[in-house]
Chain A
Amino acid sequence: CGTSRPLPSLPAGSWVPSVTPQDILYRGILRRKLQLSHFFVDHPEDAFGSLGKLLHQNFYLGDSKLRVSVHSGLPPCSGCPRKNLVPRLRWFSHLARDWLFEVPLGLLADCVHEDLLLQWASLLFDDSPTGGALAWLPPKDVGARTGRLVYPGGQAMNHLCILPHGVALRRGGGGREGVPCCTALSCPHLPGELAVCTQSGAVYLWSVETGLQRLRHDPQTMFFRDHSPWRWSDFTAHPRVLSCADRTGLQCLDTRVSPGGCHFDLFKVGEEAGCQQGERVVLPMYLGRAYPSQHLVTTQFSVYVLDERLPLVPVLKWAHMMKAPPLFAHLTPGGPGRSHKVLLGASRTQELLLLQYRGEKRGSACQLVGTPQKLHSVSSCLQHLPAQLPHRHRLLQQRLSAPAAGGCPAPPGGLGSLLIFQLSEAGDVFSTSPLEEAECPQEPSANPQPSPAAALRYRRWLKAFSKVCGQPPRHTRPPTFGQKRLFTRKELEEPSAPSALQGQARRWLRQAMRDGGCLQRWDPPPSALPEPPEPAEDPDPLSARLTASWCGDWDGWWEGRMSSSLAQRQRALRERRRRQKRARGRRSLSASFTSSLTYQSELSELSDPDTAPPPRREASPPLGTSPPAAATPPSPEEALLSSQSLRSRGIPKERRKTLRDYLAVWADGPPEPPELPGSQASQLCIPSSQSQLSSASQPRRKRPRMGF
Chain B
Amino acid sequence: MDSFLEEEEDDEEAAAATKNAAVGSALLPALHLPSLPPHLYQPGKGRAVGFPAKSKEVCLSYIQDAMLRKQWKRAAEFLTFYIESLEKDFSTEYMGPSEVIWRIGAEILCHRFHNNMKEFSSFIEQMKTLGVKRYLKVCLEHAFHLLCNGQIDEAYQNLSLAESWRFGEQTAIQDKEMKLIQAYRGLLDYYSWSKQKNILLEHGQDGLEDLSVEQEMHGCFRKAAMNLKEIIKIPGVWDLFVKCYVDLLEFYGDYSEAREVLNEYAYNSKFPANPNAHVYLYQFLKRHGESKKSLLSALKILHDIVPSHELMIDFHIMLQKSKKRKKRRLGLEVIFAVLDYAGWKENVKAWSCLARQVKQIVISEKHLDWIKQEWDPRRDWWPAFHFSRYSAKRNWQENESLSYEKALVAGILLGKGCKAQVKRFRILKKFLNKHNPVYLRLSGLSDSSVQP
Q: B73: CB under 8 A from chain A?
A: yes
Q: Give B109 Cβ to nearest chain A Cβ, in Å.
A: 13
Residue-wise, chain B 294-317 has the 8 Å CB interface mask toward A (1 for contact) of 000000000001101100000000
Rounded to whole angstroms, the CA-CA distance of A323 and B306 in the bound complex is 38
B7 engages A442 (CB within 8 Å): no
Contact B68 A353 (CB under 8 A): yes
Residue of B7, B305, B341 near A25 (CB, 8 A) is B7
A190 touches B384 (CB 8 A): yes
Q: Is the CB of A379 within 8 A of B35?
A: yes
Does A374 contact B71, Cβ atoms closer than 8 Å? no
Task: Please give the distance in Å from B4's CB to the nearest CB on chain A.
Answer: 4
B340 → A minimal CB distance (Å):
6
Interface assignment of A21: CB less than 8 Å from any CB of chain B: yes
Give the Cβ gap from A342 to chain B, nearest Cβ, in Å: 14
Contact A238 B340, CB 8 Å, known A191-B384, A379-B38:
yes
> Any chain B CB within 8 A of the CB of A210?
yes
Among the listed A312, A442, A445, which residue makes an inter-chain contact with B72, where contact means beta carbons less than 8 Å apart? A442
Number of chain A residues close to chain B: CB under 8 A: 49
Interface residues of B in 25-40 (CB under 8 A from A): 30, 32, 35, 37-38
Q: Which residues of A contact B71 (CB under 8 A)?
A: 442-444
> Of A26, A189, A446, which is within 8 A of B4 by CB?
A26
CB neighbours (8 Å) of A444 from chain B are 32, 71
A305-325 interface with B by 8 A CB criterion = 309-313, 321, 323
| Shortest Cβ distance from residue A399 to the other chain B in the assembled complex, whole angstroms | 12
- A289-310 CB contact bits vs B (8 Å, 1 = yes)? 0011100000000000000011
CB distance from B77 to the nearest CB of A (A): 10
Contact yes or no, B74 A309, CB < 8 A:
no
Residue of B nearest to A397 (CB): B41
List the B side residues contacting A30 at CB < 8 Å. Answer: 1
Given A25-B4, A310-B272: A240 touches B340 (CB 8 Å cut-off)? yes
Q: Is the CB of B7 within 8 A of A21?
A: yes
Is A380 positioned at the interface, with any CB of B under 8 Å from its CB? Answer: yes
User: Which DSSP category, helix, strand, loop or mixed, fits chain A's interface?
Assistant: loop
Given A190-B381, A292-B343, A444-B32; A371-B308 close (CB under 8 Å): no
Chain A residues whose CB sits within 8 angstroms of the CB of B384 once the complex forms? 190-192
* Alpha-carbon separation in the docked complex, A460 to B73 (Å): 36
Task: Report whether B342 and A256 are in contact in the complex, using a CB–CB cutoff of 8 Å.
Answer: no
- With a cutoff of 8 Å between Cβ atoms, the chain B residues found around residue A210 in the complex are 380
- In chain A, positions 49-97 with a C-beta closer than 8 Å to chain B are none
Residues A237 and B309 in contact, CB atoms below 8 Å apart: no
Shortest CB distance B361–A (Å): 23
Query: A435 contacts which chain B residues (CB < 8 A)?
Result: none
Q: Verify A374–B68 contact, CB threshold 8 A.
A: yes
A25 CA to B73 CA in the complex, in Å?
A: 41
B68 touches A373 (CB 8 A): yes
Q: How far is the CB of B333 from chain A (nearest CB, A)?
A: 14
**A240: chain B residues within 8 A (beta carbon):** 340, 381
A312: which of B41, B65, B68, B272 is its contact (CB, 8 Å)?
B272
Chain B window 361-400, contacts with chain A (Cβ cutoff 8 Å), 1 for yes, 0 for no: 0000000000000000100110011001000000000000
Q: Taking the nearest CB of chain B, how far is it from the CB of A306, in angstroms?
A: 12
A309 CB contact (under 8 Å) in B3, B72, B237, B308: B308
Contacts of B70 in A (CB 8 A): 371, 373, 438, 442
Q: How close is B272's CB to chain A, nearest CB, in angstroms?
A: 5
Q: A237-B308, A437-B69, A443-B71 are in contact. Are A380 and B35 (CB under 8 A)?
A: yes
State whether A27 and B4 are in contact (beta carbons under 8 Å apart), knowing that A309-B308, A379-B35, A442-B73 are contacts in the complex. yes
> Is A422 an interface residue, CB under 8 A from the partner?
no
Judged by a CB distance under 8 angstroms, whether B274 is at the interface is yes
> B97 to nearest A CB, angstroms?
15
> How many angstroms from the CA of A240 to the CA of B342 in the assembled complex?
11
A210 CA to B379 CA, complexed, in Å: 13
User: Are B237 and A310 in touch, CB under 8 angstroms?
Assistant: yes
**A288 CB–B CB distance under 8 Å:** yes
Q: Are B237 and A313 in contact (CB under 8 A)?
A: yes
1/0 per residue, CB under 8 A from A, across B228-239: the answer is 000000000100
Q: For residues 262 through 293 of chain B, which have their beta carbon under 8 Å from a beta carbon of chain A?
A: 272-276
B111 at the interface (CB under 8 A from A): yes
A218-258 interface (Cβ within 8 A of B): 237-240, 256
- In the complex the two chains form, is A443's CB within 8 Å of B272's CB? no
Is A372 in the interface zone, CB < 8 Å from B?
Answer: yes
Cβ contacts under 8 Å, A339 to chain B: none
Who on chain A is nearest to B305 by CB?
A309
Is A46's CB within 8 Å of the partner chain B?
Answer: no
9 A-B pairs (CB sep. < 8 Å):
A238-B341, A239-B381, A292-B342, A293-B343, A374-B68, A382-B35, A442-B71, A442-B74, A443-B71
Using A313-B274, A349-B37, A382-B35 as known contacts, list a sample of 12 further A-B pairs with CB atoms less than 8 Å apart, ordered by residue number in A: A210-B380, A237-B343, A239-B381, A309-B305, A310-B237, A310-B275, A321-B64, A373-B70, A377-B35, A379-B38, A444-B32, A445-B32
